[in-house]
Structure 1
Amino acid sequence: MGFVMVLSWSRQIFLRFFLDARMESFLLGHVAAFEAWGGAARVALYDNLKSAVLERRGDAIRLHPTLLALAGHYRYEPRPVAPARGNEKGRVERSIRYIRDAFFAGRQFADLDDLNAQAAAWCMADAGERACPEDASLRVGQAFERERDHLLSLPATPFVCEEVKAVSVGKSPYVRFDLNDDSVPATEVQRTLSVVACERLVRILDAQRVVATHARSWYRGEVIEVKQHVQDLVDSKRAAHAHRDTDRLVSAAPACRDLLRQAAERGEPLGRMARALGELLDPYGAAELQRAALDALGRGVPHVSAVRLALDRRRLQRHDPPPVAVPLPEHIQQRDVAVCHPSLAVYDHLTEPEDDPS
């Protein structure tokens, strides 16, 4: 999209190109024009586009509230032209025709930044050297220097033109914005965050806290990630898996809880120890592991080796062979699950005759 603003007397042109036609780009064109000129026009005439005029009913006009906020910030008057009145916007229409013929036709550029740099240079050089329609003795650039003194002074801070949107994070740590997926830390899943986007950056915020920053992509269907976000997700999944293994171990053999606690006090790696104890649970069973853990606690040796030694000692006392783990598919394991069928005697009372209350 091309944004064009023309000063009424000097015919000084401001030209800038954007990758979309959203309201944020329309507002940013105003801000860039005022900054390039060093001041704001006192009155701005608008065609009846939706970014400026939302509704007309006779002489009653409802302007876009965001445009009114921009006008209030720079203290100028937004004034829509009458419908089907081409003479009221002739300066802009002729300037657009001039831009198409003198600037854009046959021009080559590498990217958007290159195109805008060429447009800014052309506005001040070639376009500024044409004769001023209001005073043929002046060039447009010379007339602009005179008109500059009559522009409104700029406020201390420019108008904020960033796009703000509320987004929901699902089970995966990504937010959808502009049909792209931007990563966030794994701690932000299942939450509602805010996306604040400008031309070059996409910031993702939780209230005032910035949780992620990405370079903005104007393509569609891309996954934009920060390596640390992906690594945190992998680490959290590993931690969750280890937590599930520990819960299963402690549920089967409660003595393992004290065993792990005492091992942690001695600086033992809990993840490795929980996995090792879990590998003993299936071949030896919950009851044997519970007795071996109590034995290790009684000896004051909270270590896997002490548990394994107690298991082997009891196995030798029973003259049992060493347990050999045989990995079986899940559907085979389910065949060996013992199912206790409930007694159907509780349904017998349904066939008994009811007592006659009389």
Structure 2
Amino acid sequence: MAPVFGPYKARVDALLKQNEQLPRKQQYTSPKIFEIIRTEGYQGCESRIRQHVAEWNRTRKQEVFLPLEFEPGQDAQCDWGEAYVVLGGERKKVQIFTMRLCYSRRTFVTAFPTQKQESFLYGHVLAFNHFGGIPYRISYDNLATAVKMAFDRPKQRGRPPRQEQRAFQSFRSHYLFESHFCTVGLQGAHEKGQVEHGVGFVRRNYLVPLPEVASFEELNQLLKERCLADDERRVSRQPTTIGQAWQEERSALRPLPTFDYDCCEITTARLTPYSQATYETNRYSVPVKRARSAVTVKAYPFHVEILDGTTVLARHPRCYGREQDLFDPFHYLPLLEQRPGAFDHAKPLKKWRRDWPESYHLLLRKLREKWPEGRGIQEFVRVLMLHQDYPSEEVAQAVEQALDLGCIHLDGILHCLHQISTSPTSAPLDLSDRPDLDAVGNQPIDLSRYEQLLKQSW
């Protein structure tokens, strides 16, 4: 007997029965049911509700799945997942893009900062290149980056009609594959169970323990290596390894197009007076000669390009923060040459300045002492401009040589730089086993012959 709970058992059963018509992630839970019946007069404890809900679930008929079989090259499944990694010394959540070929079960995994559409499309491009071809059909959940539910349109056969995103339609037209979206309200495991299981498999086997990486590039290289290692695995009840089955499936895939799809968001922007283009609240610098003109911004998953027509003016790492300034110091050097008085407070140079070798700071001090009133800074800015044409290591070496020689000016540094860049890089030939050749090229010059030639010309 349950004198406290008994009068409320039918009410709890009715709420649990409603769960069968509710979305999986918005069903009544034990705490929610306890909250509801407590407002209706229940005086018992929550643990009794949890016990009844557990008994109810055990007596329900377990969900049954239909076994599926796929032909080579015909089908793939795609999904997103979340995972944690130690990125740049901080624990961060990353978005895991996963695609799996249904026949061979070969899996591709890569990580992005977000699930934005450009990341979604670029994940496909990387997966197709990894597989060496394109499956004829790919199954998805009803991802907002691929499809939108058009509830304002008439339903067809009891389902809300779907409308693919325009960018996704364009992408599919480039790669010529069909899309299949899982039935609304049905758990994805019924129609794309392989990749649903695959996302969990990746978290448990590729990302445990938490990878410690410096960048997304390093993380994705690690994931790629683990995808390749997975080719040696043999799935239960399969006669061959994943890699062997993929070799059989590869020839059945659609061939790759001659060029990859350009996976980016494109918008226009007008440069600020500080020669910056704004995208998603962040400002990216552009060479000052383009100030106050309209430009095109192409946002890729990991970088941003700013263009004038088809000419790329600037390229920056993409920032996913808010209201940040991303500067390339070279964009502002021509302006600093004209306005040397602003040098000490120039924001675009401050981060770069902290990383300069000590020889640069010494050169700057000496140039200021030699040419005050701005000329010394102008000469130093011209030296910094050499980084646009020469490797940084060679410029730093030339600065050190010029300081040692006492030629602390642009021409002196250029002279040292030309000597460094034109000096032979190969080691001298070892002639220790041929002493008879040691003198070749080292014999003294006989100037008497030149004197004879000069006398004859007189």
Q: TM-score range by the shorter chain?
A: 0.5 to 0.7
1:65 equivalenced with 2:192 (yes/no): no
Following the alignment from structure 2 to structure 1, what is the Cα–Cα distance between the partners of residues 315 and 196?
40
1:10/1:132 contact within 8 Å kept: no
Q: Does residue 192 in structure 1 map to residue 294 in structure 2? A: yes
Per the alignment, residue 377 of structure 2 pairs with none
Shift of 1:54: 1.1
Distance 1:141 1:27, change over 3 A: same
Q: CA deviation at 1:104?
A: 1.6
Query: Does the 8 Å CA contact 1:17/1:112 hold for their aligned counterparts?
Result: yes
Q: Give the match for residue 141 of structure 1.
A: 243
Q: Secondary structure at the match of 2:113?
A: coil
Q: Which one of 222, 225, 247 corresponds to residue 118 of structure 1?
A: 222
Is 1:163 aligned to residue 257 of structure 2? no
Range with bigger deviation, 41-50 or 86-95:
86-95
Read off the aligned partner of 1:12 and give its amino acid letter.
R
Distance in 2 separating the partners of 1:72 and 1:177:
28
Q: 1:186 to 1:80 in 2, by over 3 A?
A: same
1:109 aligned to which of 205, 212, 216: 212
Deviations 1:146-185 (A, max 9, x none): 1111110011111111332211212221122344322223
2:192 equivalent in structure 1 = 89
> What CA RMSD, in Å, does the superposition of the two structures yield over aligned residues?
2.5
| Equivalence for 1:22 | 116
1:180 aligns with 2:282: yes
Asked whether the equivalents of residues 68 and 78 of structure 1 are also in contact (C-alpha less than 8 Å), the reply is no
Letter in 1 for 2:292: Q
Is the alpha carbon distance of 1:158 and 1:172 closer, same or farther for their aligned partners in structure 2, counting shifts above 3 Å? same
Give the aligned length.
238
Code of the aligned partner of 2:99: M
Distance 2:313 2:219 in 1: 33
Q: Which of 1 and 2 has greater Rg?
A: 1
- SS in structure 2 at match of 1:20: coil
Describe the shift of the 1:169–1:236 C-alpha distance in structure 2 as closer, same or farther (beyond 3 A). Answer: farther
Question: Does structure 1 retain, via aligned residues, the 8 Å contact 2:125–2:260?
Answer: yes
Shift of 1:221: 4.3
Aligned to 2:141: 47
Q: Which amino acid aligns with 1:97?
A: G
- Distance in 1, matches of 2:198 and 2:216, equals 21
Alignment of 1:146-295 (within 5 A): 146-234=248-336
- Tell me the CA shift for residue 199 of structure 1: 4.3
SS at match of 1:93: helix
Whether contact under 8 Å (2:275, 2:287) holds in the other structure is: yes
Give 1:204 deviation, angstroms.
1.5
Question: CA–CA distance in 2 between the matches of 1:198 and 1:164?
Answer: 9
Match of 2:235 in 1: 132
Supply the distance in 2 between the matched residues of 1:185 and 1:148 (Cα, whole angstroms). Answer: 46
Within a 5 Å distance, the mapping from 1:307-346 to structure 2 comes to: none
Residues 295-337 of structure 1: CA deviation (Å, up to 9, x unaligned): xxxxxxxxxxxxxxxxxxxxxxxxxxxxxxxxxxxxxxxxxxx
How far 1:237 moved relative to its partner?
6.1
In structure 2, relative to structure 1, the CA distance for the partners of 1:227 and 1:108 (3 Å cut) is: closer
When residues 81 and 191 of structure 1 are mapped into structure 2, their CA distance, relative to the original with a 3 A threshold, is: same
> Do the aligned partners of residues 128 and 228 (structure 1) sit closer, same or farther apart at CA in structure 2, a change above 3 Å counting?
closer
Instruction: Give the aligned residue type for 2:144.
Output: K
Give the unaligned 5+ runs of structure 1: 239-358
Conserved? CA contact 1:174–1:183, under 8 Å: yes
In the alignment, is residue 76 of structure 1 matched against residue 177 of structure 2?
A: yes
Distance 1:146 1:56, change over 3 A: farther
Report the CA distance between 1:121 and its aligned residue: 1.6
Contact 2:271–2:293 under 8 Å retained in 1: yes
Amino acid at match of 2:224: A
Structure 1 136/208 Cα, relative in aligned 2: closer, same or farther at 3 Å?
closer
The AA in structure 2 aligned to 1:193 is V
- For residues 50 and 67 of structure 1, the distance between their equivalents in structure 2, rounded to whole angstroms, comes to 10
Cα offset for 1:143?
1.2
Distance 1:191 1:11, change over 3 A: same
Relative distance call for 1:56 and 1:129 in structure 2 (3 A) is farther
Moved more, 207-216 or 90-99: 207-216
Partner Cα separation in structure 2 for residue 228 and residue 138 of structure 1: 56
Calculate the TM-score normalised by the size of structure 1.
0.61
- One-letter code aligned to 1:99: V
2:39 equivalent in structure 1 = none
| AA in 2 matched with 1:229 | H
TM-score (norm. length: structure 2): 0.48
